[in-house]
Amino acid sequence: MQTRIYQDQNWILFLPLAWGDSGIYQCIINNTNMCHRIHVNLTVFNETQCVSRNSQVNLSDEYKQILHVGKNDSLTCHLNFPKSCNLDSVKWYKDCKEIKGERFAYWERKRKLSVSNVSAEDRGNYLCKAKLTHAGKQYMVLHRITVNVTENVGHGGIIPKITYPTNNTIEAQLGSTLIVDCNITDTRDNTNLRCWRVSSTLVDIYYKESKRVQEGIETHISFQEHNFYTVNITFLEVKMEDYDHPFTCHAGVSAAYFILKPPVPDFLAYLIGGLLAFAGAAVFVMCLYNIFWIDIALWYRSAFQSTGTIEDGKLYDAYVLYPKPQRESQSYIMDTLVLKVLPEVLERQCGYQLFIFGRDEFPGQAVASVIDENIKLCRRLIIIIVPESLGFDLLKNMSEEQIAIYNALIQDGMKVILIEVEKIKNYTVMPESIQYIKQKHGSVHWNGDFTEESLCAKTKFWKKVRYCMPPKRFPPSSHAQLLKHMPCDLTAGN
């Protein structure tokens, strides 16, 4: 073939057309079942760009169109080319003159000419001309139309029916992209104009500069007696100016609109979201509380503690009851814990006052009398226990232990702090009173480590003990003096 004649799939292009191109062309379509042969007779005419109103032009029916008097109608420029060809710069002419005026509007993308308020003067010879670009070369293409006017509306007086929109409102989020279809049922041989308008102005013209809102390509589905048309309008970005503004779809004399509205807040969704957020926060707080509840309690005591002494008639914060070793060689660990570690942390660092039998009684006093009197002056009872396998006796025959337990559990009902020097695996071998205390108050486990770190009041073990101790209230002067001697940071509370 010559370089000016191209095949593009099932198209044959003559760019440009020449006198010698007249003849019969054969198109062969092969598929798996059969072979189709189509013959096309091509006749080249001497085409002139301008034809006046009085000129006689013999055109086939596909080059004839009708406008309806008194209506808004349109003409279509049937320039069909494959996708490899680009058509633009469409211009319309009537009786050799370029069409201009307020009643006419060009739709370049659809290659349509909109005519408002059609009159008998709109009859005549029309020409649409466009610039075609193919393979980097440009050509001029023409399509001639003979236009008649009639006073009938559509075919048989049938008016197009718009099934959507229905003069309704549509919720659209600000800044979102939105596509709305206009669905139209009309006769097969209609020439009705189908378009979108804003304030009686075509959408493509109204948004000519920004092109933010555009009318889409019209599509249709053919049925036996009618066509179903769809033409959409696309909002590339919804803006505030689009709200409460009617966008109208026209189909001949029929019209229907929609109005954009901002979305109504979904209060139920907000409520459910709020409840879920609250529930999540509550679960999170409960988890934190279960992990740090002792730290929170001690911090609260430290932050909101009041000065002054507690007016309850007590002199001591705790009475320390500990088992006595059967042999002198076993007394080192217990004496270190009771006579050094407890006083260092609870008394020196935390400001508590302990009563330890063997350290705080006066010489010559009767044992039973000292124990009975001083146990009543204490706010807590600290009981230190060890497994029986270590050779310590607890609550067997000693009067100190019997009196202390009797006062704590029966007479005064004071709170008991049970400290395990080593993990007690079997409480059934313990006295019933210890089993009862374990069940009611629980226990705190001491790992037996006497390092410097373990002697700090902010370790986990001492926090548990401090939590079980009564809230400490310092006189204004003594509180300031005590803080000067504290080696550990007690900001978590006393």
The two tokens of residue 206 are 């109204």
Main-chain phi, psi angles of 150, to 5 degrees: -145, 155
Task: Confirm if 181 and 149 have CB atoms less than 8 A apart.
Answer: no
Which H or E run includes 41?
Answer: strand 35-42
DSSP assignment letter at 176:
-
Closest residue by Cα to residue 303 from 46, 36, 490: 490
Residue with tokens 């948004």: 207
Main-chain phi, psi angles of 458, to 5 degrees: -95, 5
Burial of 493 (0-12, 13-18, 19+ CB in 10 A): buried
CA–CA dist 163, 260 (Å, integer): 18
CA–CA dist 342, 385 (Å, integer): 14
CA–CA dist 90, 438 (Å, integer): 97
CA–CA dist 206, 208 (Å, integer): 6
How many CA atoms lie within 13 Å of 333's alpha carbon, on the beta-carbon side?
A: 18
Quote the crossing angle between the two packed helices 267-304 and 460-468, to the nearest 10°.
Answer: 80
Residue with tokens 């002198």: 328
The two tokens of residue 299 are 């911090």
DSSP string over 332-363:
HHHHHIIIIIHIIIIIIIT---EEETTTSSPT
- 112-115 and 104-107 strand pairing: antiparallel
Q: What amino acid positions are annotated as catalytic residues?
A: 400
CA–CA dist 466, 347 (Å, integer): 11
